[in-house]
Amino acid sequence: MLAFSHFVLKKQPGNKSDSSVEAAASAGSETPPPPAAEAPEEPQPDETELLIAQADRLALGYDYDKAIELLNTAPDAGDQRILQAAARYEEAKAALVPADTTTIPHVFFHTLIMDTSKAFDGDADSPGYNSVMTTREEFLKMLESMYEKGYVLVKIHDIAYESTGEDGTPQFVKGKIMLPEGKKPLVMSQDDVCYYSYMDGDGFANGLLSVRTASPPVKW
């Protein structure tokens, strides 16, 4: 009777067989997989690395003197990274040659069109905008093309600047532009010095052009 009861109870619904009980016990005894290893944190740049990065941006515009001057502000001027960066700048500076300042091309842009849906909405001003204005995308492509052709943006006062003569009268002094071999200076300006209220309604950039003198061009 006890044997029969034991047999029947084992076969009742909800009662697990010996094999299933053993399987469950075996599954429960398995060692859980170890937790996934966390990715190591990337080392953060220290003060010296950040300073060199700033100097590198100045060097992109071939202003090696300013780059070296910035490096001289480092707390540890004897750091090998500082010395190596300064040596790179000195080497690059030594390779610069005087640019021809007598035939520098000048290109100007009107205020840029930032929203073409407003500027080219079919009203009476649209044809004029399409004829003489430049969109943001067109401007960036033109600037990139100039860099590819070897042009480097320079300031108008790099070409000549006003000074005071020995007699106290103002006079203009010819500047000296030093660039790598094969590079050519280029002056860029904006024709519209004022921002009119209608420009905002027609999708123009609110403000003057702002570009770096280094390559690659500034990203808007």
Does the pLDDT value for residue 26 go beyond 90?
A: no
Nearest alpha carbon to residue 205 among 218, 214, 192: 192
Which pLDDT belongs to residue 161? 86
- pLDDT at position 37 is 67
Residue type, 161: Y
- The percent helix, strand, coil of the chain (3-state, each to 5) is 40, 15, 45
**Rg of the chain (C-alpha set):** 35
Mean pLDDT of 164-177: 88
Q: How far apart are CA 147 and CA 153, in angstroms?
A: 9
Percent of the chain scoring above 90 in pLDDT: 45
Q: How much is the average pLDDT of 186-210? A: 74
Q: Which residue has the tokens 């016990």?
A: 25
Q: Given this model, what pLDDT does residue 214 score?
A: 44
Tell me the average pLDDT of the chain: 80
What is the CB-side half-sphere exposure of residue 76 using CA atoms within 13 A?
A: 9
Of 20-34, 58-72, 148-162, 167-181, the one with minimum mean pLDDT is: 20-34
Question: Treating both helix axes as pointing N-terminal to C-terminal, what angle do 47-60 and 64-71 enclose, rounded to 10 degrees?
Answer: 170
Spatial distance between the Cα atoms of 68 and 51, rounded to a whole number of angstroms: 11
Q: What global pTM score does this model have?
A: 0.65
Residue bearing the bigger pLDDT, 86 or 19:
86
Residue range 113-134, pLDDT digits in tens? 999 999 999 999 899 999 989 9
- Provide the pairing of β-strand 184-190 with 151-153: parallel
Contact 184, 151 (CB under 8 A): yes
Q: Is the peptide bond before 216 cis (omega within 30 degrees of 0)?
A: yes
Gap between the Cα atoms of 123 and 135, Å rounded? 17
